[in-house]
A and B are shown apart, each in its own frame.
Chain A
Amino acid sequence: MSSRDMSEIDAKCTIRPAEDRDLDQVIALDERVTDIGKRDYITDLFERYRTRRPDQRFFYVAEQSGRVIGFVIGEIRAWEFGSEPCGWVFAISVDPDVREDGVGAALLDRISERFREAGVNRLRTMISRNNHLLMSFFRSRGMIAGPYLQLEQDLT
């Protein structure tokens, strides 16, 4: 693991790429935060985001005293919906007990740094407008409404 891949932040945790030993802790943290167990889904993410297209897919965890206290997952996607290549963050989570201590910001900074290194200069995510806490977090990091609108239709 290169020194670029690991760093310590003010919150006294280390940001590093996810490893096999983190899987159960990531699943438990996600379930604690979302109240939905997604073992199969996250196990599949672990496989896809750590082994395939590793130069464009990133899965980082925040570790504190051997414990996973946060994670972020994202990838570079190109030309979907007519968009030029950009870095998508589609999951970020921090243990509720250690929030407001810079862990989420460090995770987002790290994946943003990797996106920049990979040649993209725009960060993008999608979020439920009812998730006020996470939306506030992204806004606090400088994210603003983008030029795309998500539309959907009830097919029942």
Chain B
Amino acid sequence: MKLQTASRLAIYAVLELSADPGRQLSAAEIGDKYGISTHHLSKVLHTLGRAGLVRSVRGAGGGYMFSGNARRTTLLDVIVLFEAVGGPDAGGADQDAGTAEAAALNMVLGEIDELTRATLNSITLSTMHKLTAGTRPSVDKGQGRPVTST
């Protein structure tokens, strides 16, 4: 499965913000970390805001804060804001199901789609933080450069 760019950016943004729910980050700060344009990220953050996952904070030092529940919000909750996952809209099933072969192929693709949805719907942001912690480079305070955790 390949995610659309907006979905990936949205996941990065909510992960960054939910890592410390009391912290405010601007689109530029998040964009800098992931090397993505502030313009594109702002659109994504706007959509996340309408879904109640983040809220914007105005004024000096303003930015965005996480406003969801990291232990209940799943990857699927974020992704479906930007693209369909599974089913004909996602391009998985054969749209032309007029033949027995197409129907059989759709059944197989539907099985795969269901597993994909179930997996994405079982991974919360909180779980992603745990997975990230296992692979995130940590900063060597003495040298001020990243080193890989073991």
Least Cβ–Cβ distance between B125 and chain A, in angstroms: 10
The answer to whether residues A136 and B124 also contact, given A100-B71, A142-B130 and a CB cut-off of 8 A, is: yes
B101-130: CB near A (< 8 Å → 1, else 0) gives 000000000000011001101111011001
Q: Is A23 an interface residue (CB 8 A)?
A: no
Specify which chain B residues have a CB less than 8 angstroms from the CB of A129 in the assembled complex: 114-115, 118
Contact A136 B115 (CB under 8 A): no
Specify which chain B residues have a CB less than 8 angstroms from the CB of A142 in the assembled complex: 130
Q: Is B7 an interface residue (CB 8 A)?
A: no
Specify which chain A residues have a CB less than 8 angstroms from the CB of B119 in the assembled complex: 145
Q: Using a Cβ–Cβ cut-off of 8 Å, how many residues does chain B contribute to the interface with A? A: 14
Q: Is A21 an interface residue (CB 8 A)?
A: no
Least Cβ–Cβ distance between A61 and chain B, in angstroms: 24
Q: Is A120 an interface residue (CB 8 A)?
A: no
* A interface, size bucket: 10 to 19
Contact B71 A135 (CB under 8 A): no
Q: Is A140 an interface residue (CB 8 A)?
A: yes
CA of A139 to CA of B129 in the docked complex: distance in angstroms?
A: 12
Specify which chain A residues have a CB less than 8 angstroms from the CB of B114 in the assembled complex: 129
CA of A100 to CA of B70 in the docked complex: distance in angstroms?
A: 12
CA of A28 to CA of B121 in the docked complex: distance in angstroms?
A: 29
Contact A132 B74 (CB under 8 A): yes
Contact A135 B130 (CB under 8 A): no
B46-84: CB near A (< 8 Å → 1, else 0) gives 000000000000000000000000011010000000000
Least Cβ–Cβ distance between A51 and chain B, in angstroms: 35
Contact B74 A136 (CB under 8 A): yes
Q: Which residue of A lies closest to B134 (CB)?
A: A142
The answer to whether residues A140 and B124 also contact, given A100-B71, A129-B114 and a CB cut-off of 8 A, is: yes
Specify which chain B residues have a CB less than 8 angstroms from the CB of A145 in the assembled complex: 119
Specify which chain B residues have a CB less than 8 angstroms from the CB of A132 in the assembled complex: 74, 118, 121-122
CA of A8 to CA of B118 in the docked complex: distance in angstroms?
A: 34
The answer to whether residues A140 and B74 also contact, given A129-B115, A145-B119 and a CB cut-off of 8 A, is: no
Specify which chain A residues have a CB less than 8 angstroms from the CB of B126 in the assembled complex: 140
Q: Which residues of B contact A (CB under 8 A)?
A: 71-72, 74, 114-115, 118-119, 121-124, 126-127, 130
Task: List 6 A-B residue pairs with CB atoms under 8 Å apart, sorted by A's residue number.
Answer: A100-B71, A130-B118, A132-B118, A135-B121, A136-B124, A145-B119
Nearest 6 CB-CB pairs, A to B? A129-B118, A135-B122, A140-B127, A139-B122, A132-B121, A139-B127
